[in-house]
Amino acid sequence: MEKLLITGPTSLKGEVEISGAKNAAVAILPATLLIDGVCTIKNLPNISDVKISCEILEALGAKITWIDKNSITVDSRHITTTQAPLNLTSKFRASYYIIGAMLGRMGKVQVAMPGGCQLGARPIDQHVKGFEALGAEVSIEKGQINASAKKLTGNSVYMDIVSVGATINIMLSSVLAEGTTIIDNAAKEPHIVDVANFLNTMGADIRGAGTDIIKINGVEKLNGNATYCVVPDQIEAGTFMLAAVASKGDILIKNCITKHLESITAKIIEVGGNVEDYGDSIRVWNNERPKHATIKTLPYPGFPTDLQPQMGVVLSLADGTSIIDESIWDSRFQYTDELNKMGSKINAQGSRAFFEGVPQLEGAPVYSTDLRAGAALIIAGIVANGETQIYNLEHIDRGYENIEEKFRKLGANIKRVNE
Ligand code: EPU
């Protein structure tokens, strides 16, 4: 079993390069199934969720050629089956994008119910609502989703809940539909804009992505023959920003879009950190114990739930009592039990947690309960006294490229060992 060994405390200093966005990549890869041609994708993060996505595409008949560790070409001219491999699609959440893409391209698909981080109930009713509005029939039996449509026709879909996945999935299923689809109350995350940009580069006609009304005019065919570069990862950038604050460090975060980081920047300044914005890079430094704060996670442009655990480490060290309200996922406070093993004083009750700040954390053996919890525990290990051992690394490897190498370059004493 692999574990991370971290010896702290370290004040992180230096520069870090941000990889392509996981949550854009895991949607853009299925989107290639809509293309009757060959396309090139660059700046893919080299993470296990991307590798599994590629394996699923290959199992459906697409041909993937790796140009280097972050770039591929995908040839989706010959899709040979509509049965997605159940063992792979059940492994991670974003496999639900195979449904929208295959419905659009083949009018039919069978996939496993999506797996992924255990963050509480993760229903897909809004995805299904969208597919049905376009004319598809969807049934869920014995852990398998079957979707089919004789013909997909554009329609208006009002999202009852702001959902990243459902917004993207309805875009995927409607780009080749006849007529116009309008998604009302759409999610506005940067990766939604990125998926729309990708599809438009390949010949789609999507307007309004990044606002809460997206209009998709169906086109006959996507041709490919183009190269697309995945947007930088907003959450990875935010993770290093918060690591700079927690460790009283000074980090220049390169290759990011600082506009995507505004809610994080605002909260960092509120807790006493310093931020200098250079547009495509951002410097974050902090010399003082963080001040306490109140945070509520919200859909973009609000404070992202995917940075809530990392912010939790900052607040566990703050002067005074802080509160986090988690409004997206029921079980996103599992990491607080692990942080409490390291000396933090966090009391999580339902969707709210109280952080009574402590001056110092102490190293301990801890378990990564999900991807972002894992990132938070790494930050905690770096700022804690003594040795921290982090287990369940498969969660972390799903979403962060070379994470220990990136932290090591910033001065962290971190290594991966096989027990
Ligand atoms: N929801 C429904 N019905 C649906 C879909 C969603 O009730 O049909 C609810 C969810 O239960 C949740 C809320 O709506 O309470 C928002 O869920 P959303 O659909 O936006 O989440 P998602 O698409 O499944 C993506 C990211 C998550 C991130 C959330 C919120 C991907 C692959 N995953 O999930 O990322 O937390 O959006 O921003 O894009 C992560 O990267 O660690 C991660 C968990």
pLDDT, tens digit, for every residue of 210-223?
999 999 999 999 98
Counting atoms of ligand 1 from 1, which one is nearest the CA of 165? 23
pLDDT of 250 above 80 = yes
Distance 163 CA to ligand 1 centre (A): 6
Counting atoms of ligand 1 from 1, which one is nearest the CA of 125? 8
What's the whole-number mean pLDDT along residues 144-169? 97
State both tokens at 346.
């966090």
Q: Is the CB of 129 under 6 A from ligand 1?
A: no
Residue type, 345: K
pLDDT of 200 above 90 = yes
Q: Are 108 and 359 in contact (CB under 8 A)?
A: no
Q: Is the CB of 102 under 6 A from ligand 1?
A: no
Q: Is the pTM of this model over 0.85?
A: yes
Say how far apart CA 198 and CA 255 lie, in whole Å. 19
Say how far apart CA 251 and CA 238 lie, in whole Å. 12
**Rounded to 5°, angle at Cα 96 from 137 and 47:** 165
What's the whole-number mean pLDDT along residues 47-76? 97
Q: Order across the sheet with 2-8: list the strands.
A: 365-367, 386-391, 2-8, 413-418
Q: Is the CB of 43 under 6 A from ligand 1?
A: no
Q: List the domains of the chain with CATH numbers.
A: 2-19+232-418 (3.65.10.10), 22-229 (3.65.10.10)
| The residue to which tokens 């029939």 are assigned | 137
Cβ density class 27-57: b for 16+ within 10 Å, e for less: bbbbbbbbbbbbbbbebbbebbbbebbbebb
pLDDT at 123: 86
What's the whole-number mean pLDDT along residues 381-396? 97
For residue 350, give every residue at least 6 positions away whose Cβ sits within 8 Å of its Cβ, in sequence order, or none: none
For residue 298, give every residue at least 6 positions away whose Cβ sits within 8 Å of its Cβ, in sequence order, or none: 327, 328
What's the whole-number mean pLDDT along residues 343-355? 97
pLDDT at 89: 87
pLDDT, tens digit, for every residue of 297-337?
999 999 999 999 999 999 999 999 999 999 999 899 999 99
pLDDT, tens digit, for every residue of 16-38?
999 999 999 999 999 999 999 99
* Whether 117 is catalytic: yes
Higher pLDDT, 86 or 62: 62
pLDDT of 121 above 70 = no
For residue 193, give every residue at least 6 positions away whose Cβ sits within 8 Å of its Cβ, in sequence order, or none: 209, 210, 231
Nearest CA to ligand 1 atom 25: 164
Q: Are 241 and 268 in contact (CB under 8 A)?
A: yes
| The residue to which tokens 């992202």 are assigned | 304
Arithmetic mean of pLDDT over the chain: 96
- How far, CA to CA in Å, does 108 sit from each of 55, 82, 138, 139, 145? 19, 6, 10, 12, 11
Distance 347 CA to ligand 1 centre (A): 25
Which entry of 39, 54, 117, 256 is annotated as an active-site residue? 117
Q: Is the CB of 161 under 6 A from ligand 1?
A: yes
Pairing, β 144-148 against β 274-277: unpaired
